[in-house]
A and B are shown apart, each in its own frame.
Chain A
Amino acid sequence: MIKAIVVFNNHGKPRLIKFFQHYNEDMQQQIVRETFHLVSKRDENVCNFLEGGSLIGGSDYKIIYRHYATLYFVFCVDSSESELGILDLIQVFVETLDKAFENVCELDLIFHVDKVHYILQELVMGGMVLETNMTEIVTRIEEQSKLEKSEAGLAGAPARVVSAAKNLDLPKLPSNIQLPNLPSFR
């Protein structure tokens, strides 16, 4: 079973926290920090598995992670999961994000917390792998977007107009943010 999924950047700033076992907020943050500490000091090209930190349950749990540009994707799993399987699952997650956001970068995760959660929900549920077929996941996400759109089209129209109008006099939309290799931000 997957106990937790955490994404943080090279500086340890969390970008996604999802626990499948209940911990209070403070504990969650501590676990993220501990995990960052464990993972960030490792060289590139070493193996992607290590024993869990003491907060998350020690050597009964494994940390399986991948490092993409500025982000670490970390899954904490128990012994019932296949290490390589989880490693591939991380890849599926990232590829799906990439399809949904087109060249996903750290910023997408920040500005679309909700969407990232929805994608993850299609992939993992209650700590177990739900769906691994990327086409299927993307279809489901697109269906959701369509639903959102249709609802927004009916009731959300005024709000959208207002927000669009507000947007007009603001040149600094996220488009001026450089995408792939933003080193850090607070």
Chain B
Amino acid sequence: MPTVAKGDAMRGLAVFISDIRNCKSKEAEQKRINKELANIRSKFKGDKTLDGYSKKKYVCKLLFIFLLGHDIDFGHMEAVNLLSSNKYTEKQIGYLFISVLVNTESELIRLIIQAIKNDLFTRNPVHICLALQCIANIGSKEMAEALAPEIPKLIVSGETLDAVKQSACLCLLRLFRTSPETVPSGEWTQRVGHLLNDQHLGVVTSATSLIHTLAQKTPEDFRQCVQLAISRLSRIVTSSYTDLQDYTYYFVPAPWLSVKLLRLLQVYPPPEDPAMRGRLNECLETILNKAQEPPKSKKVQHSNAKNAVLFEAINLIIHHDTEPTLLVRACNQLGQFLQHRETNLRYLALESMCLLASSEFSHEAVKKHMDTVITALKTERDVSVRQRAVDLLYGMCDKSNAEEIVAEMLSYLETADYSIREEMVLKVAILAEKYPVDYTWYVDTILNLIRIAGDYVSDEVWYRVIQIVINRDDVQGYAAKVVFEALQAPACHENMVKVGGYILGEFGNLIAGDQRSSPMVQFQLLHSKYHLCSAPTRGLLLSTYIKFINLFPEIKGQLQDVLRNNNNLQNADAELQQRAIEYLQLSTVASQDVLATVLEEMPPFPERESSILAKLKKKKPNVSDIEVKEGKKSSNPPTLNNSAANTPEATPASAPVPVMAAAPAPAPVQSASDDLLGLSAGPAAAVPVTNNFAAPAAPAGGGGLLVDVFDTPPAQNNVSTALAPQAEDNFFNMAGETAPSGDASATELDGRFAIKNNGVLFENELLQIGVKAEYKGNLGRLGLFYGNKTSYPFQFFTPTVSCPGELASALNVQTKPLDVNTVEGGAQVQQIINVECIADFLDAPILSIKFSYSGSMQQINLMLPVMLNKFFEPVEMDATTFFNRWKQLNSPGQEEQKIFKATYPINQDNSRTKLLGFGFGLLDGVDPNPDNFVGAGIIKAQSSQVGCLLRLEPNMQAQMYRLTLRTSSNSVTTRLADLLLKLF
């Protein structure tokens, strides 16, 4: 081999590698490797006087064996010994072995750290560099603890060589990533900023990387770097390519450094100082201008380097989002790239444009490129590029172009790559829902979606179309008609059968007048698919049949035949069998009236965030960012849904349904399946108005985050999957996500916070919120404590309190804004909220918190623990007074009596504490039975004072309570009863 490097090739190694290469089988290779391992092992063990060359050779062999995918379980000690050699070659090979093969948990780590320490304190820069490299490669916690305090000295010392400074910066960066707390703060942080002015561009590059990461955690400490970075950038950008000599890469001056500086600037908002701002804008303009100049070289490296800087500049422009001219220029530049012959540029242009689409200044400009993007979707050869095109179309979609974009995406879907189909289906479904032209279009679109890509249509999508059809009277007839037509296709997807079955079961009567879709025809059409479907779908169809029995009594006979069919009555699937038996029985025993009540039309679904959006967010966590930005933008153009922020209701059915009121939606059919047997026994009591299994299936964890909701196992009960869209029972978990209905987890908290004033209101892995409250009369004061549990700051931390609906007039809430909008890592900030009760109320105020955590927006919605009973004062009175008043409060509505099962074990002392905590004064000796409780209190609202009397009778045997409340106000009676019910 000709070169210096090849001259000293190690023969033993070459032979070994050739041997391996000649192995005919895996076994032979293994054998040869084992032989070699044994050889090396004996060499290491036996001969203590191995020279540097041999050690190097053996270590290289081990590295090669490792590369082939074999474990190396020895040699570590030898490598550690090499570290303390004072020969460079041996040290070097020792460090290499350790960097590649030692893991962070190795028991040798202490020895290694000691060896590294020794090298760090030598005056030999080459040894220091080796040590720094090793630290940066392994970067374990123990290393951070032992060595992090030493590194800053190297960085800021005037004596350190450039090469060492460079390595020290990146080494510290690595340790900071491993455990930020080990890196000492101090005066060096000031001085590290000045490295941006260093002569050596290599040092500046490393320092910029370090500062970038440090500044993300504590932006304030490095604010002075903004100016330094701008002036450095300006010097690079305006230099000619000969100025920076070796740091010029294919005629582009210091491209990597420029990129890093532009990234660093993205940590901060645009500079306030006009001079600085002007200088930065000048730089950005120069970079944009350079893109238009003819290339200085035909080499791809030249254009890559130039465009790397350009794209980063565009990212900064988008980040600042304040300079309309720059934004539009950026957009035009990206537009050019969309048609560039370099695939890489087209890819990146699509990606960056996606960000631009979310800026209100450039959204319109982006839309101009729609045709190009659509062409890209159709003609790009590379699936990664097509995927970006889909993302961009999704990002640029609004009311004005939704119809076209959705149509294009649908037509592309027919030929789309399998890998991106599911995501596309979700996106089409969301767009169709968000920007509906009208509801018939929406229904058409979703049915098309099922027809084209049925396999990729997840359950959420078809649940959603059903929810929307049920909520919109005007589209129901049309929907019934189109599903009926769609079902006539010879082969239709099972999801279509599900949608068809459900919709015809509910609204088949709307098209039954037409002979072509008479009840019999509808039934036969559905039943022709029955045998091709899976069990859950069959279950759903059986439910459709029982609904048909109600809707179309004239074909009852045929339907009963199906139910009676042995295939169903004796089906191996217990669910199907049960349905067949129960439905058959229901249809025979119950009168037409009962049937009609049981099988009443489904009530409207409560409005809430689209479940498919949540699904998309879960699939692509970064999507949520886009959504958040969209929310910001949406405050301007009225075309977008204003509430898009984090709860884009985005439902076509915009009829405002009062959420709480609708929540306990009776779902007769649904619960019927639970109670059918009981039903046939006593039809009168049968109509279950509150549905049993709608009780939340224990919302997963914090409940504050959208995605958690779908972690709940879908449908704990088969019945619900098949009978009604299961999304519906997800709704009850979801309720927390739509602000007005309050957080699912907050509802849980109600219980505890009704009787106590202090505690932890919310906690997840980022944030803890504690609350301390005091009340007097109709006034209350809450202290909220927001604790940052991470080591990074929360930026733009904004908690807001809102009183949805009628609460606004019943409760006066004053929030003191926070002094700061950044919560440092590990810090806690306090906020005071004053409340005044005007009139009685039921809902609690909503606290919603938004903040940016390491670049992504977070939002948490909670209920504040402010309930009616907080404004309750105990009253003492004797038995005579009590009974007098009790008797006076006897008009209808003034009394509320509840008999309910105990949720918690019945315990005299606990009950006492709860009632006292709730605010009642307990009157002992009033009730002849000592187990019973009698209490009195006054609700102090500004507008009125309401006296309340209570009697609570526990029944130990039955584990039941009887609760009787009498107050002078009807609404107070019910509201207090609701609150009390949850406590026992």
A interface list, Cβ under 8 A from B: 1, 14-18, 20, 22, 24-25, 29, 42-43, 45-51, 59-60, 80, 82-85, 87-89, 91-92, 100-102, 108, 110-115, 117-118, 121, 125-136, 140, 143-145, 147-148, 151-152, 155-156, 158-160, 163, 166-167, 170, 173-175, 185-186
With A and B bound together, what is the CA distance between A145 and B8 in angstroms? 11
Is B301 among interface residues, defined by CB-CB distance under 8 A?
A: yes
CB-CB < 8 A to B171: which residues of A? 125-126
With A and B bound together, what is the CA distance between A173 and B11 in angstroms? 8
Is B348 among interface residues, defined by CB-CB distance under 8 A?
A: yes
Look across to chain A and name the residue whose beta carbon is closest to the beta carbon of B87. Answer: A151
Look across to chain B and name the residue whose beta carbon is closest to the beta carbon of A50. Answer: B384
Q: Say whether A159 contacts B136, CB under 8 Å.
A: no
B interface list, Cβ under 8 A from A: 1-6, 8-14, 17, 20-21, 23, 29, 51-54, 56, 59-60, 63-64, 66-71, 87-89, 92-93, 96, 99-100, 103-104, 126, 132-133, 136-137, 139, 163, 166-167, 170-171, 173-174, 177, 201-202, 205-206, 209, 212, 246-247, 249, 255-256, 259, 263, 301, 304-305, 307-308, 311-312, 343-344, 346-348, 381-382, 384-385, 387, 620-622
A-B contact list, 9 entries, CB within 8 Å: A20-B137, A49-B347, A82-B263, A87-B304, A88-B249, A102-B2, A135-B246, A144-B88, A174-B1
With A and B bound together, what is the CA distance between A102 and B6 in angstroms? 9
**Contact count A vs B, C-beta below 8 Å:** 225
Q: Say whether A117 contacts B100, CB under 8 Å.
A: yes
CB-CB < 8 A to A156: which residues of B? 51-53, 89
Extra contacts, 13 of them, besides A24-B103, A46-B384, A87-B344 (Cβ < 8 A), are A47-B384, A49-B347, A82-B312, A88-B304, A91-B304, A125-B174, A148-B92, A156-B51, A156-B52, A163-B11, A166-B11, A186-B20, A186-B21
Look across to chain A and name the residue whose beta carbon is closest to the beta carbon of B244. Answer: A133
Q: A100-B5, A101-B3, A186-B23 are in contact. Are A159 and B139 (CB under 8 A)?
A: no
**Least distance between A112 CB and chain B CB atoms (Å):** 7
Q: A88-B255, A113-B67, A130-B206 are in contact. Are A155 and B381 (CB under 8 A)?
A: no
Q: A155-B87, A175-B1 are in contact. Are A59 and B620 (CB under 8 A)?
A: yes
With A and B bound together, what is the CA distance between A86 and B63 in angstroms? 26
**Least distance between B14 CB and chain A CB atoms (Å):** 6
**Least distance between B139 CB and chain A CB atoms (Å):** 6
With A and B bound together, what is the CA distance between A124 and B3 in angstroms? 25
Q: Say whether B67 contacts A131, CB under 8 Å.
A: no
With A and B bound together, what is the CA distance between A25 and B346 in angstroms? 37
Q: Say whether A82 contacts B167, CB under 8 Å.
A: no
CB-CB < 8 A to B67: which residues of A? 14-17, 113
CB-CB < 8 A to B60: which residues of A? 113-114
**Least distance between A52 CB and chain B CB atoms (Å):** 12
CB-CB < 8 A to A60: which residues of B? 621-622
Query: Which 8 residue pairs of A and B lie closest in terms of their CB atoms, listed nearest first?
Result: A126-B136, A84-B308, A126-B174, A46-B382, A47-B343, A159-B53, A29-B69, A133-B246
Q: Say whether B63 contacts A113, CB under 8 Å.
A: yes
CB-CB < 8 A to A82: which residues of B? 259, 263, 308, 311-312
Q: A49-B344, A102-B2, A127-B174 are in contact. Are A136 and B202 (CB under 8 A)?
A: yes
Look across to chain A and name the residue whose beta carbon is closest to the beta carbon of B175. Answer: A126
Q: Say whether B11 contacts A170, CB under 8 Å.
A: yes
CB-CB < 8 A to B202: which residues of A? 130-133, 136
CB-CB < 8 A to B132: which residues of A? 125
Q: A47-B382, A84-B344, A135-B246 are in contact. Are A25 and B66 (CB under 8 A)?
A: yes
Of A80, A88, A167, A186, the residue contacting B301 (CB under 8 A) is A88
With A and B bound together, what is the CA distance between A140 and B255 in angstroms? 21
With A and B bound together, what is the CA distance between A47 and B60 in angstroms? 35
Look across to chain B and name the residue whose beta carbon is closest to the beta carbon of A184. Answer: B21
CB-CB < 8 A to A163: which residues of B? 10-12, 53
- A134, A152, A158 interface centre (most CB from chain B within 10 Å): A152
With A and B bound together, what is the CA distance between A17 and B64 in angstroms? 10
With A and B bound together, what is the CA distance between A122 and B929 in angstroms? 86
Q: Say whether B246 contacts A136, CB under 8 Å.
A: yes
Of B53, B170, B247, B301, the residue contacting A132 (CB under 8 A) is B247
With A and B bound together, what is the CA distance between A118 and B92 in angstroms? 9
Q: Say whether B344 contacts A85, CB under 8 Å.
A: no
Q: Say whether B1 contacts A114, CB under 8 Å.
A: no
Q: A29-B69, A84-B348, A101-B6 are in contact. Are A159 and B259 (CB under 8 A)?
A: no
CB-CB < 8 A to B308: which residues of A? 82-85, 87-88
Q: Say whether B71 contacts A25, CB under 8 Å.
A: yes
**Least distance between B850 CB and chain A CB atoms (Å):** 22
With A and B bound together, what is the CA distance between A148 and B202 in angstroms? 25
With A and B bound together, what is the CA distance between A167 and B9 in angstroms? 10
With A and B bound together, what is the CA distance between A97 and B53 in angstroms? 23
Q: A82-B308, A152-B89, A167-B11 are in contact. Are A133 and B201 (CB under 8 A)?
A: yes
Q: Say whether B139 contacts A145, CB under 8 Å.
A: no
Q: Say whether B92 contacts A132, CB under 8 Å.
A: no
Q: Say whether B139 contacts A126, CB under 8 Å.
A: yes
